[in-house]
Amino acid sequence: MRPDLLRLYRMMLTSRRLEEEIARLWREGLISGEMHLGIGEEGIVAGALDHLGDGDAVAADHRSTPPMVMRGVDLTAIVAECLGAVGGLGRGLGGHMHLFSREHLAASSGIVGSSGPLACGFALAHQRLRPDRVAVAFFGEGAMNQGMLLESLNLASCWRLPVLFVCKDNGMAITTPSARVTSGNLPDRVRGFGLPAVEVDGGDVEAVWQAAGEAILRARRGGGPGYLHAACVHPEGHFLGDPLRRLVRHPVDELKDKVGPLMRAVASTSGGGVRERAGSLAGITGMIGRAAAMRGRDPVARLRARLRADGGGLEAVEREVESSVQAAVRAALASLEEVPA
């Protein structure tokens, strides 16, 4: 099997450009609340979802824009939902963390780990109603410490559910380094449940595509669930305005109100011993240092470089993507004028 790289590039670039526009709208203040982007995960999402067809299901997490885009959900409806417009995917009632498309059997949730049970349920329905269809669950490595997700791995294994569990590992559980709060090795943990676990570089869409393809094919043939562990980077951190990213980008502004209380806390006459306080300070600086070190491994840029070397078709795809993204943003902004009842 070999992927259609240009098609993958179109999927990934559409998601990337749409999310860059969403980030701009958020910064301009037109989108409220939290905004978790999937920028950096496009290779993982595309590599898995390119194998899906009609009737297959997707359980997304709080980074739900890329899977919705790549399953073909209307771009205008996605942006309009982020804006809270009546014309949004959920009529402006759900927001970006809660994108749902019934016709695509695609759902999302802001509760960490909840995509696991949901995908199991989709797969259970498939077993009865749509033999050979599969469900894909997306989640981060932080979610791998959530009970409901671990229970789902067991459930899927016991019931041989056609689920592909996809772990997008960026090394950070919200703003805590995952290594500090995660025991053992995650693929090994999954193997303990009897699932085949494959590790792959999430920045390499072709590698993801190969591994996901094999797991999905096995699931379609009744071979039970699979697990894909793909490393990635979130250049914007946990969400737009991530305090750790802000600290790295604007250390003087962000630290000016924090240093005083922090130093008073360290020097306080009561509290932990010197060793404990030194340990805490090392923990805090380590956290910031780790955030600063996050870079590179951009799956979109990597695929673009590869396609450029192969030659042909790149510019046309980019023009089309740009024009569809711009049209979607324009239409979504225009739809804001419709006053909700």
Partner 1 sequence: MRELTFSSAIEAALAQAMAADERVVVLGEDVAGLRMNLYARFGESRVRPAPISESAFLGAAVGAAMAGLRPVVEVMLVDFIPVAVDALVNQAAKLEAFSGGRWQAPVVVRATCGGGYGDGGQHEQALWAWLAHIPGIAVVVPASPDDAGGLLLGALAHGGPVVFLEHKLLAEDWLDFLGAGGRTNQVYDIPPAGARGPVPDAWVPIRLGASRTRREGGDLTIAGVGVAVHSALAAAERLSAERGAEAAVIDLRSIQPLDRTAVVEAVRRSGRLLVVDEDYRDFGLSGELAATVLEAGIPARYARVCVEGTIPYDRRREERALPNIERILEAAERLLAM
**Interface positions, 10-29, toward partner 1 (CB under 8 A):** 26-29
Quick one: 6 or 287, whose CB is closer to partner 1? 287
* DSSP at 225: -
The three-class DSSP label of residue 107 is strand
Residue 152, interface with partner 1 (CB under 8 A)?
A: no
Quick one: 26 or 227, whose CB is closer to partner 1? 26
Stretch that binds partner 1, among 4-12, 43-51, 92-100, 311-319 (CB under 8 A): 92-100
Residue 184, interface with partner 1 (CB under 8 A)?
A: no
The token duo for 165 is 């569990």
* Cα gap 127→125, rounded to integer Å: 5
Quick one: 7 or 249, whose CB is closer to partner 1? 249
Residue 208, interface with partner 1 (CB under 8 A)?
A: no
Residue 55, interface with partner 1 (CB under 8 A)?
A: no
Which of 95, 42, 85 lies closest to 338 in space, CA to CA? 85
Residue 38, interface with partner 1 (CB under 8 A)?
A: no
Is residue 204 within a helix (H) or strand (E), and if so which, with residue range? none
Tell which one of 95, 202, 213, 224 touches partner 1 (CB under 8 A).
95
* Cα gap 31→336, rounded to integer Å: 11
The site for partner 1, by CB under 8 A, has a size of 66
Quick one: 147 or 311, whose CB is closer to partner 1? 147
CA distances 98 to 29, 60, 105, 110, Å, are: 19, 9, 14, 7
Residue 116, interface with partner 1 (CB under 8 A)?
A: no
H-state helical runs in 197-258 = 205-220, 243-249, 251-255
Site string for partner 1, 270-299 (x = CB under 8 A): xxxx-xxx-xxx-xx--x------------
H-state helical runs in the chain = 5-27, 42-49, 65-70, 75-83, 115-129, 147-158, 178-181, 186-191, 205-220, 243-249, 251-255, 259-267, 274-293, 299-310, 314-335
Q: Return residues touching partner 1 (CB under 8 A).
A: 26-29, 32-35, 81, 84-86, 90, 92-95, 97-98, 109-113, 142-143, 145-148, 173-176, 180-182, 239-244, 246, 258, 261-262, 264-266, 268, 270-273, 275-277, 279-281, 283-284, 287, 339-340
